[in-house]
Every structure is written in C-alpha cells, then in structure tokens.
Amino acid sequence: MILSGTVIADADTVIEDGAVVVDDSRIAAVGRRAALRDRYPDREEQSYDILLPGLVGGHLHSVQSLGRGIADDSELLEWLFEYVLPMEASLSPEEMEIAAKLGYLEMIESGTTTCIDHLSVNHAERAFEAAGEIGIRGVLGKVLMDRRSPAGLLEETEEALAESERLIEEYHGAFDDRIRYAVTPRFAVSCSEECLRGARELADEYDGVRIHTHASENRSEVETVEEDTGMRNIHWLDEVGLTGDDVVLAHCVWTSESERELLAETGTHVTYCPSSNMKLASGIAPITDYLERGINVAIGNDGPPCNNTLDPFTEMRQGSLLQKVDGLDPVAAPAETLFEMATINGAKATGFDRLGALREGWRADIVGLDTDLTRATPLHDPLSHLVFGAHGDDVAFTMVDGNVLLEDGEVTVVDADAIRKRARAIDLSLEEHRDDAADARP
C-alpha cells in the first residue's frame, strides 16, 4: 500500500506531496510521492491531506470511559474516592470490557495508536482482550491497591502481585507483540511498601515489563505520602525501586528541586496530562524545566472522567498553551516540542522500538487527517495545524502494525455502533460503593 499526502515524518521533517509505502507491519519507504510511485508502480494508493505517525497516549484510563461526566468540578482525592473508585468497583466483567472497548475506539478514531493504559483492580483480562480485538498497540496493567482502598478494590498484597504475574505470563507480548505489560500500582497513597517493592521485583523478573503509576499529581497526595513515609513522593518511589528508565510516572506536578534531579539522574519517564491537571485544579507541571534537564516527557489525556475526552490533538494544544501562560513566555513549548511528546517521546516511554516517526523499517503505525475544513484554511504550517488547530474528529485513517483500523472515518475492526449502544445502556449504580470509598479516603 502507498499512502500519500503531506507527510509529517517527525517534528523536523515535512514532505509536501509525499508518500509512505507499507509492507506488512513495517514502513518500506518514505519520500516524494512521484519517486515512490515510480519505484512501486503496482501498489494501491490512498491519499489523505496529512499523514503523521500514530500518536502515543502516555497515560490513559480506558476502563473509566463509562464514567465520563460523573465527577465534574471535584478535587482529585474527592474525585477519586467518591466517584471514580466506586464506579470501578461496580463494574462487572462485561461492563469492564465495554468500557475498555469504548476507550480504545475513541483512541483509534482520534489518532492514538499506542497507549500506556492504567486499568483497574478487577477484570483486567477483559481489557487486554478488548485491546487485542480492536488492534491498538498498548502497554497495559492491572491496578494494585492493598491499603486505603474501598471494598471491591482492596486486595491482599501477595494475591494482587500473583494476579499481576499471571497476566504477565498470558499477555506480555500477546497479539503479535502489540500488547505488553506494565506493573501498575495505583499510587503511593493506596499501596503499601511491600506492594511497591513487590512491583519492582516482579517487573525485574520479565524482560520488557515496565512500571506505570501516578506521582505528585496533587498537593494533598504529596502531603499524605510525606506524613506516611517522612519523604517526598519521588524520593519515596526511588527508595522502593520505582524510578528508572522502565518507569512511567504520570503527572509529576508538585516536585522539588531534588526530586527533579532524581528524575533526570534515573532516566524516569514523565507523562504530562494538561487537561486533567487543569480540570482537577491540580496545578501546572513544570514541563519546560523537565525537558531542559533531559527528562523524557510524554503526553496523555488521563481518563474520561477528568478530561472528558481522549482527543490527543486537544492535549497537545492545551499542553503548549499552559506552559506559555505559566512561564509568561510565548516561545515556551512550541508545536515541535508537543508533537515530539505525542510521538517519539511517548514511544520511548512505552519501550517499543522503531515507533513514533515515519521512517523506513519502522512500525507501520500511521494516521491520515482531512484538512478540507474552514478551521484548516489557510494552512500555512502543517505541524502548527496539528498542534493548535486539528481535532480528533479530523482523523480519517488509522493504521497499527500495517492493519487498517479506521478508514474513511469508519472503524473497520469491530461494530462500533453496537459498542456505543451497549455502553449507553449500562447503568452505573454507584451509591452502594460510595460509603466504602469515602471510608478509605486518606
């Protein structure tokens, strides 16, 4: 297959009237359309206005998709313990599967081809199966919670780690290696020292398994961890082994100078979630500072209840504007930087190689956008348009591993209408779980 259009191969490479040639799951060539048509005269060609690498969601909660809009205008710990945790505890296996499918559908419909997905305590295997069926690439993990957690989510430490290991054995490298595993403690507030150290030990037993957790999202969280441990959050995570180049920490809004030095020294990845941080009034992550220190920063939407969209283009726009206004610096976080966060930086955080750019021999994860829109007229700078003007619903084509998941704006791999219909029919009966969650709140 030949895909043609304006090719944004990476943040530094834009090819007008370009093309990408796909062989099976890999990119065979990238260049000028005319030259590639001459080299591959018999290939089927499809044209889109802009072609770009599939975007990488560096921190997502697919299984919270059924909770979109249930917890608006709430502070983080109230949002989590009084709304989101009760919702997660209430979901049956089938509902968890529908929630995950709904999240993955939104991702492929809006240009996210790879995600680092923080699931829930229960029924995680249903999300793994959903990801495999839909064809998205992802690093997924069952959540670990062994203290300060409501009934229905609280687990014994050994049982939680044993279940994680069972899932690693079954799903790490599954679906032609599109799906990999991350050991996933929820955060230090709801995980004991034994659990956190156990997460590190488990990840070390398996090649390529990563660690994914939340850190320093909110001042109350930081204060709670310091009261528990006598240490700042990042220092505590380092103490129990949860820093390093196989660790992805979501948020990192409230960090000290010494914590930032530690993140840089250990090669720990940070995921920036600007819309979620704004909506929950958590604060503004010091992303410009992180990048200057050489810390790899990805970008993510977080979950639908705290966003309320999984649109990656919205996240790039918000992410740039927030850094500019925070530093009163109009040149901070330019389009190129945000595009790198959403592509090559996100790919580094996932651990997948040859991902995050359109290059010969790299994975064929490709997105095609339409720009026949008033909002895209005139289009002086394609990269600027992607970051500041594009929307997820501009996506017309999504390919993962050479497989077409979205064509002409329509999902090709599952019955999307049936999934949406089932999701609308699910009644989230949360009241019986809220008292338990409130009791567990720190």
What phi and psi, each to the nearest 5 degrees, are found at residue 356?
105, 5
Q: Which contacts of 66-70 are long-range, i.e. CB under 8 A and separated by 24 or more positions?
A: 66/91, 66/95, 66/98, 66/99, 66/102, 66/423, 66/426, 66/428, 67/303, 67/304, 67/305, 67/428, 68/304, 68/305, 68/308, 69/304, 69/305, 69/308, 70/305, 70/428, 70/430
pLDDT reported for residue 260: 98
Whether 70 and 83 have beta carbons less than 8 Å apart is answered as: yes
Q: For every one of its 442 residues, what pLDDT tens digit does the chain have, with 9 covering 90 and above?
A: 999 999 999 999 999 999 999 999 999 999 999 999 999 999 999 999 999 999 999 999 999 999 998 888 888 888 888 888 888 998 999 999 999 999 999 999 999 999 999 999 999 999 999 999 999 999 999 999 999 998 899 999 999 999 999 999 999 999 999 999 999 999 999 999 999 999 999 999 999 999 999 999 999 999 999 999 999 999 999 999 999 999 999 999 999 999 999 999 999 999 999 999 999 999 999 999 999 999 999 999 999 999 999 999 999 999 999 999 999 999 999 999 999 999 999 999 999 999 999 999 999 999 999 999 999 999 999 999 999 999 999 999 999 999 999 999 999 999 999 999 999 998 765 555 555 665 676 7
Closest CA to 131 of 401, 369, 362: 401
Coil, strand or helix: which one is 398? strand
pLDDT reported for residue 393: 96
Strands 13-23 and 2-10: antiparallel
H or E stretch at 212:
strand 210-215
Closest CA to 65 of 273, 249, 310, 278: 310
- Burial class, 93, CB count within 10 angstroms (exposed 0-12 / middle 13-18 / buried 19+): exposed
The alpha helices in 135-280, defined as continuous H runs, are: 157-171, 174-177, 193-204, 219-229, 233-239, 257-266, 274-279
Coil, strand or helix: which one is 174? helix
What distances in angstroms separate CA 228 from CA 134, 211, 233, 380, 440, one per listed residue?
Answer: 41, 22, 10, 53, 15
pLDDT reported for residue 437: 60
Whether 395 and 368 have beta carbons less than 8 Å apart is answered as: yes
Sign of the CA dihedral running 395, 276, 334, 292 = negative
Residue 148: left (phi > 0), alpha (psi -120 to 50), or beta?
left
Say how far apart CA 259 and CA 252 lie, in whole Å: 10
Coil, strand or helix: which one is 211? strand
- In our burial notation (b when 16+ CB lie closer than 10 A, e otherwise), range 53-72 reads bbbbbbbbbbbbbbbbebbe
Sign of the CA dihedral running 33, 34, 40, 41 = positive
How big, in percent rounded to 5, are the helix, strand and coil portions of the chain? Answer: 45, 25, 35
Whole-prediction pTM: 0.96
